[in-house]
Chains A and B, each alone.
Chain A
Amino acid sequence: MTDIRLPSLGGIEAAAKEIAPHMAPTPLIRSEILSRIFKAEIWLKNETVTPIASFKLRGALASLIRARAGDGIAGAVTSSTGNHGQGVAYAGRLLGIPADIFLPTDANPVKAAMIAAFGGTLHKIGADLDLAKDAAKAHAVSTGGFFVDDGDDPDLMEGAGTCGLEIARALPDIDAIYVPLGGSNFVSGLGIAVKTIQPDAKVIAVQAKGAPAMVESFLAKRPVERACDTIADGLVTRIPPGLAFRYMVEVVDDAMLVGDEALLAGMHALMESAHVLVEPAGAAALAGAWERQADIAGKRVVLVLSGANATTDLIRRALAIPPLFALADAAV
């Protein structure tokens, strides 16, 4: 980790050019209803409408494009709860690189099925993501594959950062951006772009109460290990990754936790009031912002909707509880 290249705005701009032939910018839309509810100007960065229904294609593409341009690679190997695995499998297929994806044994079946559909070879191994990661690294070493490291790869972080670049270039004078927090690669890459272009914009990371490792690490300013128990499989990290955590401390202004109930209620609210389907992790930004309504009033705020790989059972659960707020609350 000592010789690692450090991510930068220039690198993120280069990554944006590299991935552009494979994915279009995602929509950034002002939500009239949410703006009324929050008495603020609420914009939604919709990362759900990509071929893999999450932001993860960005980093996977940047990492594999650059690895191929460097020494060339025989295959890609990674570990993932699902969305990162989909990103690597899909990027691999776009670039003609075979992909081996390691998942925890209890991984979300929808995400696992999609990885296979994108041409990835599935390996279900390990009780959690960090154990799956160990197995993936061992496999990469033994087969000579390229390990796509979600958390310690500057290329991947710069790819993820293209989301922040799109936001900061498209919308001036942003007061705050709320971003779902898993292993902090996304919020760190996004934060580098946003804080370089708009230093006054606050970046706020939101993680699940049941998986608080990154938030507690951020607040303690040192890596803290925590067990994970949440429905939001996209927000789960047990052990903070080195590079991503280092940047999180630098570019993130605040980090907070939200409960699973708030994530489900946020899914319901986004479906009803913004007409967007998200997975629990994809509702984290809204759920976090909802707890900070008083801070947000009158401000220009971007909520990042990071993904939509929800099972229909989860959608039903979200619809079975009251939404964070009802569409009717927006009436004049």
Chain B
Amino acid sequence: MSGQAGDPTLAGAEAALATIAEHVPETPLIRSEALSRAFDADIWLKLDCATATASFKLRGALCDLLRAEARGETGGVVASSSGNHGQGVAFGARLLGRNADIFLPEGNNDLKQGMICAYGGRVHVLGTDIDYAREAAIRHAEENGLYFVNDGISLDIMEGAATMATEIARRLDGIDYLIIPVGGGNLTAGCAAVMAEAQPGCRTIGVQPEGAPVIVRSFLEGRPLEVPGESFADGLVSRVTIPFAFEVFCRHVADGWLVGDQPIKAAMHSLAECAHLLAEPSGAAGLAAAWERHTLLKGKRVVLPITGGNASMDQLREALATPPLFTLAKAVG
């Protein structure tokens, strides 16, 4: 659990926060009365769904782009994404007056693709999954002399993402669990490294869908695996581990939990009913996994980042057609 040279640090994340603060105001951290009662615990929600791109991704993208700009990288940028990272990069690039080419896998979320276009990003749909899209994006950047925003390798992205933990740790003491949805593991790894310094008593947990478990399974087995994935939570699907993110993840994350798509839908429903929030499936995965372990969490202070709100209306309809994890009446009755 100890840090190594090259790991993100609390100081690095604090510097990142100062770098992005002008563009990314602090997001709300609120105690949920209804969820606290349902869990018989102290449940706090970190609302990164309430940002300009409705996800946490702007943090890392902007930190990376701003630090690159300071090094003289001012040309066009390229990124690969299941959607939210692409939005963060497209939005950040436009803010800095730079062009963005975003590579998405086939079968991506229409809504996210539409948002990337709206932010002025040029979308390329290529490859059967996120990791193939990534290879295509890297090639495109090399061939055209563009800057690849490397989600998973870049310390700047990771420290940018970890500003979420910095904001949480400043506002709230004595956190027992920080439970974070995992796609590539970048956010979870960065936040775990920061919490290890800021609140060493906090256990940072990574959550992935059962249908797309590569990072959590690799973590539990202690070696990088390749596992094709499919999940309702489109933001959490990876096939391979990316070395830097995975190494930091293994050093600092306390545990990895898997959760099914049904509980994720039920958690979206519960967040709408009990916390009055629109979360996308990825953003609800932490709550879904936490609920399956609510006996472990009883009496604890738990922070659940709601990492994104880019749900399509079809996803929301499907979630509302699924019974919630618990009803509001049961939670507060």
A binds B: yes
Query: Contacting A275 at CB < 8 Å: which of B54, B91, B272, B317?
Result: B54
Contacting pair A272 B313 (CB below 8 A): yes
Contacting pair B33 A51 (CB below 8 A): yes
CB within 8 Å for A49 and B50 given contacts A33-B115, A319-B317: yes
Contacting pair B31 A29 (CB below 8 A): no
Contacting pair B34 A114 (CB below 8 A): yes
Contact with B along A250-279 (1 / 0, CB 8 A): 000000000000000000100110111101
Contacting pair B117 A50 (CB below 8 A): no
CB within 8 Å for A312 and B273 given contacts A49-B28, A113-B329, A276-B278: yes
Contact with A along B9-36 (1 / 0, CB 8 A): 0000000000000000111111111100
List residues of chain B with CB within 8 A of the CB of A308.
276-277
Bound complex: CA A279 to CA B273 (Å): 11
Contacting pair B28 A50 (CB below 8 A): yes
List residues of chain A with CB within 8 A of the CB of B215.
none
List residues of chain B with CB within 8 A of the CB of A331.
114, 117-118
Say how far B88's CB is from chain A's closest CB, in angstroms: 13
List residues of chain A with CB within 8 A of the CB of B310.
275
Contacting pair B114 A328 (CB below 8 A): yes
Contacting pair A271 B278 (CB below 8 A): yes
| Chain A positions 1-50 with a Cβ under 8 Å from a chain B Cβ | 24, 26-27, 29-30, 32-33, 36, 46, 48-50
Say how far A148's CB is from chain B's closest CB, in angstroms: 19
List residues of chain A with CB within 8 A of the CB of B29.
24
List residues of chain B with CB within 8 A of the CB of A53.
275-276
B192 interface hit (Cβ, 8 Å):
no
Say how far B31's CB is from chain A's closest CB, in angstroms: 6
Bound complex: CA A312 to CA B270 (Å): 9
A97 interface hit (Cβ, 8 Å):
no
CB within 8 Å for A275 and B311 given contacts A36-B118, A110-B328, A114-B33: yes
Contacting pair A48 B276 (CB below 8 A): yes
Bound complex: CA A51 to CA B47 (Å): 11
Query: Contacting B33 at CB < 8 Å: which of A30, A36, A109, A118?
Result: A118
A316 interface hit (Cβ, 8 Å):
yes
Contacting pair A319 B309 (CB below 8 A): no
Contacting pair B320 A315 (CB below 8 A): yes
| Chain A positions 67-121 with a Cβ under 8 Å from a chain B Cβ | 90, 109-110, 113-114, 116-118
List residues of chain A with CB within 8 A of the CB of B278.
271, 275-277
Contacting pair B119 A32 (CB below 8 A): yes
List residues of chain B with CB within 8 A of the CB of A140.
none
B220 interface hit (Cβ, 8 Å):
no
List residues of chain A with CB within 8 A of the CB of B91.
32
Bound complex: CA A111 to CA B51 (Å): 26
B111 interface hit (Cβ, 8 Å):
yes
Say how far A325's CB is from chain B's closest CB, in angstroms: 13
CB within 8 Å for A29 and B276 given contacts A118-B33, A332-B118: no
Contact with B along A290-332 (1 / 0, CB 8 A): 0000000000000000001111100110010000000110111
Q: How big is the B interface, by class?
A: 35 or more
CB within 8 Å for A330 and B309 given contacts A117-B332, A271-B316, A275-B49: no
Contact with A along B286-317 (1 / 0, CB 8 A): 00000000000000000000000111110011
List residues of chain B with CB within 8 A of the CB of A49.
28, 30, 47, 50, 277
Bound complex: CA A283 to CA B215 (Å): 40
Bound complex: CA A219 to CA B135 (Å): 63
Say how far B130's CB is from chain A's closest CB, in angstroms: 21
B269 interface hit (Cβ, 8 Å):
yes
B34's nearest neighbour on chain A, judged by CB, is A117
List residues of chain B with CB within 8 A of the CB of A33.
115, 118
Contacting pair B313 A268 (CB below 8 A): yes
Contacting pair A327 B311 (CB below 8 A): no
Contacting pair A312 B52 (CB below 8 A): no
B37 interface hit (Cβ, 8 Å):
yes
B44's nearest neighbour on chain A, judged by CB, is A51
B72 interface hit (Cβ, 8 Å):
no
Contacting pair B332 A114 (CB below 8 A): yes
Contacting pair A117 B33 (CB below 8 A): yes
List residues of chain A with CB within 8 A of the CB of B119.
32
Contacting pair A51 B30 (CB below 8 A): yes
Contacting pair B276 A276 (CB below 8 A): no
Say how far A49's CB is from chain B's closest CB, in angstroms: 4
Contacting pair B52 A30 (CB below 8 A): yes
Bound complex: CA A279 to CA B309 (Å): 17
Contacting pair B309 A276 (CB below 8 A): yes
Bound complex: CA A260 to CA B331 (Å): 30
B36's nearest neighbour on chain A, judged by CB, is A117
List residues of chain B with CB within 8 A of the CB of A276.
50, 278, 309
List residues of chain A with CB within 8 A of the CB of B320.
312, 315-316, 319
Contacting pair B114 A330 (CB below 8 A): yes
Say how far A124's CB is from chain B's closest CB, in angstroms: 16
Bound complex: CA A46 to CA B49 (Å): 12
CB within 8 Å for A315 and B272 given contacts A113-B332, A277-B278: yes
Interface centre among B49, B51, B272 (most CB of A within 10 A): B272
Bound complex: CA A328 to CA B111 (Å): 9
Bound complex: CA A208 to CA B164 (Å): 39
Bound complex: CA A319 to CA B276 (Å): 16
B314's nearest neighbour on chain A, judged by CB, is A319
Say how far B103's CB is from chain A's closest CB, in angstroms: 19
User: A-B pairs with the 4 shortest C-beta distances?
Assistant: A117-B332, A308-B276, A275-B309, A53-B276
What is the interface of chain A, defined by CB distance below 8 A to chain B?
Answer: 24, 26-27, 29-30, 32-33, 36, 46, 48-51, 53, 90, 109-110, 113-114, 116-118, 268, 271-272, 274-277, 279, 308-312, 315-316, 319, 327-328, 330-332
Provide a sorted-by-A list of 30 A–B residue pairs whose CB atoms are within 8 angstroms: A24-B28, A26-B28, A27-B50, A32-B91, A36-B118, A49-B277, A50-B28, A51-B30, A51-B32, A113-B329, A114-B33, A114-B34, A117-B33, A117-B34, A117-B332, A268-B313, A271-B278, A274-B54, A275-B54, A275-B311, A276-B278, A277-B276, A310-B276, A312-B324, A315-B316, A315-B320, A319-B320, A327-B111, A331-B117, A331-B118
